[in-house]
Amino acid sequence: MLLQSFPPLPSCELLDVNDDQTLPKLIEVLEKRHRLRQMLSEEFAKNVLTFKTMLQEFDSSVVSKENYIQGKLSEKEKIIAGQKMELERLEKKTKTLEYKIEILEKTATIYEEDKRNLQQELESKSQKLQRQASDKRRLEARLQGMVAETTMKWEKEC
């Protein structure tokens, strides 16, 4: 394709010694080709420079983005590390609280059992006191009956 843009070479056949057209035409075509080649070479060099500049800008942009992303990644990793530490702390605290809850539940169970035992003991002693009070009232009633009987006997005898 590049060769097609160059002008075609004229016939180079020299049939006559006095031919003054063939060589000047050949020189003219070769000079045109040389100028065209120089222009293409300059344009190619310019394009290479432009492409190199674009690549450097792109590379710089990629490096800049990479640095930015790396910074963000570092920040996120720090946040994650902090959150992991917080999670571990909370898990440890949760285990401690679960242990305390377990102890409190056992203590509450023991207290409930003690409360039931004390309640039963209280009811038992209350019933005993009621029986004793009832027995005491009966005894007092019997004694009063006996005193009244004895008093009546004394009164009859006297």
**Could you tell me if residue 5 is inside a domain?**
no
**Could you tell me if residue 158 is inside a domain?**
no
Contact assessment for residue 10 and residue 28, using Cβ atoms and an 8 Å cutoff: no
How many domains does the chain contain in total? Answer: 1
| pTM for this model (two decimals) | 0.49
**Could you tell me if residue 102 is inside a domain?**
yes
**Could you tell me if residue 28 is inside a domain?**
yes
pLDDT tens figures, 30-50: 998 899 899 999 999 999 999
| Structural domain for 95, as ranges | 23-148
**Could you tell me if residue 110 is inside a domain?**
yes
**Could you tell me if residue 13 is inside a domain?**
no
Residue 91 pLDDT class (50, 70, 90 cuts):
very high
Question: What tokens does 10 get?
Answer: 């004229």
Average pLDDT over residues 38-67: 96
**Could you tell me if residue 64 is inside a domain?**
yes
Alpha-carbon span 76 to 68, nearest angstrom: 12
Q: What is the DSSP string of 116-156?
A: HHHHHHHHHHHHHHHHHHHHHHHHHHHHHHHHHHHHHHHHH
Alpha-carbon span 152 to 149, nearest angstrom: 5
pLDDT tens figures, 106-148: 999 999 999 999 999 999 999 999 999 999 999 999 999 899 8
**Could you tell me if residue 111 is inside a domain?**
yes
